Structure 1
Amino acid sequence: MAIINTWFVVINPTSGNGLGKRKWPKIEALLKQHQFNFDHYFTKDENDCKKIIQFAVNQGFKNFISVGGDGTLHNVVNGIMSQNIIATNLINVGVIPVGTGNDWIKTHKIPNNIEKAINIIKKGQTSLQDVGEIKLVKSNKKPVYFINLAGIGFDGYVVSKVYKYKHLGALAYLYGTLLGLFSFKNFLSKTTIGSEVIEAKTLMILVGLCQYSGGGMQLTKTPNTSDGLFDISIAKNIGKLDIIKNVLRLFNGSIVNHKKVSTYKNDMINIEITDNHKPYIQADGELIGKGDIEVKIIPKAFSYYY
């Protein structure tokens, strides 16, 4: 049966090293072939993406398609979460992946194939997942939302390096990891999870909702996208040699069993950096700043086609 709803399609032309722009004619033709009634927009940058989503919601759109990677989807979600016209769980998002890592779709088993991804959207089945909200303490910045994984420390540093090498595809994350080994310095942190306070020299702190990040890495233990809890990993003072020895464990998920990695489940986490060295913070593979953060969960606030 043909879809008769009106859709708003957001295309990031720079996703996947320009793949978004190159693939759009094929995607547009397929959407028309499958009788989607849609408007579309090419985003200029992340703020532009958020603004156009807010504008479209204000115009009455409730069904969106994100053409891009994890960063594009992240910006779409932030546009949805930062508007107050309609409940966020009533706005549905389909994904046509053309990005570098495409990590979020791995958890939800959405195929990389464009036509198969469109067929999933056309089926019209939606599900809900939790959303994380990050507040930068002592900052006037608005909250940042994420639906995959956020982190502070080494993973943020890797993200800062990946931008230069996105033409390598998923290998960019592995390259960024190896490159970061030579210059990243572990930092002092004080993390509060429930009634527990963890003070340590730290490699990175990860707050996860989905299973994969960084081009397929598995850095949290038992993530569940809709249980109302974050899956948290604190990697303490792991040295460079130890990271090199454990690179494969970053991808097969066994890194969470390392003796210097502690895991937790909670719906809130506070992270204070007690070091002059302030590490990068990333959310869904996008850099969002530096400093102390408060992270809380918003249960089942994001609706997606699967």
Structure 2
Amino acid sequence: MWVIFSQNKNSLCMKDIFLIMNPGSHSGRSRQTFDQIIGLITRSGVDFEYHNTLDLDHAILLSRNANLEGYKTIVAVGGDGTINAVVNGFYTPDGHRISEAKFGVIYTGTSPDFNKSYGIPVNIDEAVAIILKGKTLEIPIGMISFEPRDRPDDNCNPDSSSVRYFVCCANIGLGAMLARKANSGIRRKLGDFSGTLLSLIGLLVSFKSITVICMENSNEIQWNKLTNLSIGITPYIASGIQVPVHFTDQGKKFYRLIVQNLNLFCIVPLLRKVYSGKPFINSNYLSLDYSLQVKLSSPQQVEVEADGDPVGFLPCRICFAFDDLDLIS
């Protein structure tokens, strides 16, 4: 059911703000903030509507419809998965924006990596105030194009069923397994940071390395003992992990954080480096570089994770969407 709030009696709907609210975020505790959010916006006198999500696919559909229906501002109310889903609803399969709508975030999840990266407050009152002001920043959006193994096409322009967008980071290798394990309930028991860290340590000890082939500008790199490849935009990822990058340093490029050739003696220094956020010297097991776009494949079945949720399998291409997103911040 659509819920409509209109302060203008001469108009059915001004289509100002549409809230996409995930009641399941933060293990269901997100719902407790909904009355507060609705009350704050109601008292502002702004015309708005809201809809609760059934799942993340439903959030994508709601976002796409809101873009098509002409809302000026579309807001994700939830965690990282909700943010990712709502952003996916802003884009066509070829990387273009559906509309000129602004994107806003009211965070009610567990690990506000996106908010930290762009300086968006997690306090509900402050977040709503920023949404109402509407000041925007253009941000780049990553585009993952999954392909059948036998398709030779070289451009980043696939069918709609094989495209996913991301705002923070995509992981190839251990990342998808970490997302599944951390999302399975351990974070609910131990907390976001401790649950994710414990899951990560367990996987680092047991994970069997994979082979991934990376093509960039006709240059091929093959990692034969890869644990994880992070292709990212924002410095904050995965519940406390911080990549030592700054947007001004990388320009409009992805960073590539490569973990490979691991043994038991590397695990402790690796964890120190990825959780400290401090610059490090590239080594045999951890390195950082930059890329505009990549094509990735593997002789094995390798899963891809984006913004905290598994989204598909190699092969894929990762590039930037053609249109940046107007983020309210």
Using the size of structure 2 for normalisation, the TM-score is 0.84
Q: How far, CA to CA, are the matches of 1:83 and 1:105 in structure 2?
A: 26
In structure 2, relative to structure 1, the CA distance for the partners of 1:177 and 1:197 (3 Å cut) is same
2:181 aligns to what? 161
- Verify the 8 A CA contact 2:17 2:49 in the aligned structure 1: yes
1:138 aligns to what? 148
Task: Output the aligned Cα RMSD.
Answer: 2.5
Alignment of 1:185-204 (within 5 A): 185-200=208-223, 201-204=225-228
Q: How far, CA to CA, are the matches of 1:255 and 1:240 in structure 2?
A: 22
Letter in 1 for 2:134: G
Deviation at residue 299 of structure 1 after TM alignment? 4.9
1:235 maps to 2:245? no
- Give the ranges of 4+ consecutive aligned residues of structure 1 lying more than 6 Å apart after TM superposition: none
- Verify the 8 A CA contact 2:282 2:288 in the aligned structure 1: no
In structure 2, relative to structure 1, the CA distance for the partners of 1:154 and 1:256 (3 Å cut) is farther
- Secondary structure in 1 matching 2:237: coil
In structure 2, relative to structure 1, the CA distance for the partners of 1:34 and 1:23 (3 Å cut) is same
- Secondary structure in 2 matching 1:197: strand
In structure 2, relative to structure 1, the CA distance for the partners of 1:220 and 1:268 (3 Å cut) is farther
Q: How far, CA to CA, are the matches of 1:70 and 1:154 in structure 2?
A: 19
Which residue of 98, 101, 113 corresponds with 2:108? 98
- Secondary structure in 1 matching 2:207: coil
Deviation at residue 220 of structure 1 after TM alignment? 5.9
Q: How far, CA to CA, are the matches of 1:188 and 1:83 in structure 2?
A: 29
1:287 aligns to what? 310
Deviation at residue 215 of structure 1 after TM alignment? 0.9
- Verify the 8 A CA contact 1:159 1:287 in the aligned structure 2: yes
In structure 2, relative to structure 1, the CA distance for the partners of 1:223 and 1:197 (3 Å cut) is farther
List runs of 5+ in structure 2 lacking aligned partners: 1-6, 8-13, 150-158
Letter in 2 for 1:232: R
2:47 aligns to what? 37
- Secondary structure in 1 matching 2:162: coil
In structure 2, relative to structure 1, the CA distance for the partners of 1:239 and 1:212 (3 Å cut) is same
Letter in 1 for 2:187: K
Deviation at residue 65 of structure 1 after TM alignment? 1.3
- Secondary structure in 2 matching 1:181: helix
Q: How many residues align?
A: 302
In structure 2, relative to structure 1, the CA distance for the partners of 1:226 and 1:248 (3 Å cut) is closer
Q: Deviations over 1:101-152 (max 9, x none)?
A: 1111101111111111111112220111111110112177420001111110
Alignment of 1:181-260 (within 5 A): 181-200=204-223, 201-219=225-243, 221-223=245-247, 227-254=251-278, 257-260=281-284
Deviation at residue 5 of structure 1 after TM alignment? 6.3
In structure 2, relative to structure 1, the CA distance for the partners of 1:242 and 1:106 (3 Å cut) is same
Q: How far, CA to CA, are the matches of 2:23 and 2:250 in structure 1?
A: 31
In structure 2, relative to structure 1, the CA distance for the partners of 1:115 and 1:270 (3 Å cut) is same
Letter in 1 for 2:176: G
Letter in 1 for 2:294: I
Deviation at residue 172 of structure 1 after TM alignment? 2.7
- Secondary structure in 1 matching 2:241: coil
- Secondary structure in 2 matching 1:134: strand
Q: Which moved more, 1:214-223 or 1:143-152?
A: 214-223
- Secondary structure in 2 matching 1:44: coil
Deviation at residue 233 of structure 1 after TM alignment? 1.9
Using the size of structure 1 for normalisation, the TM-score is 0.90
List runs of 5+ in structure 1 lacking aligned partners: none
2:137 aligns to what? 127
Which residue of 276, 290, 296 corresponds with 1:265? 290
Percent sequence identity over aligned pairs: 23
Q: Which moved more, 1:19-28 or 1:166-175?
A: 166-175
Which residue of 149, 156, 177 corresponds with 2:169? 149
- Secondary structure in 2 matching 1:80: coil
1:47 maps to 2:57? yes
- Secondary structure in 2 matching 1:156: helix
- Secondary structure in 2 matching 1:246: helix
Deviation at residue 30 of structure 1 after TM alignment? 1.6
Q: Deviations over 1:195-248 (max 9, x none)?
A: 432212211111111111101212364445993211122222122441233312
Q: How far, CA to CA, are the matches of 2:203 and 2:41 in structure 1?
A: 41
Q: How far, CA to CA, are the matches of 1:8 and 1:226 in structure 2?
A: 33
Deviation at residue 183 of structure 1 after TM alignment? 2.8
- Verify the 8 A CA contact 1:157 1:184 in the aligned structure 2: no
- Secondary structure in 1 matching 2:212: strand
Deviation at residue 66 of structure 1 after TM alignment? 0.9
- Verify the 8 A CA contact 2:15 2:70 in the aligned structure 1: no
Q: How far, CA to CA, are the matches of 1:113 and 1:151 in structure 2?
A: 29
- Secondary structure in 2 matching 1:188: strand
- Verify the 8 A CA contact 1:88 1:301 in the aligned structure 2: no
1:107 aligns to what? 117
Q: Which moved more, 1:13-22 or 1:254-263?
A: 254-263
- Verify the 8 A CA contact 2:227 2:259 in the aligned structure 1: yes
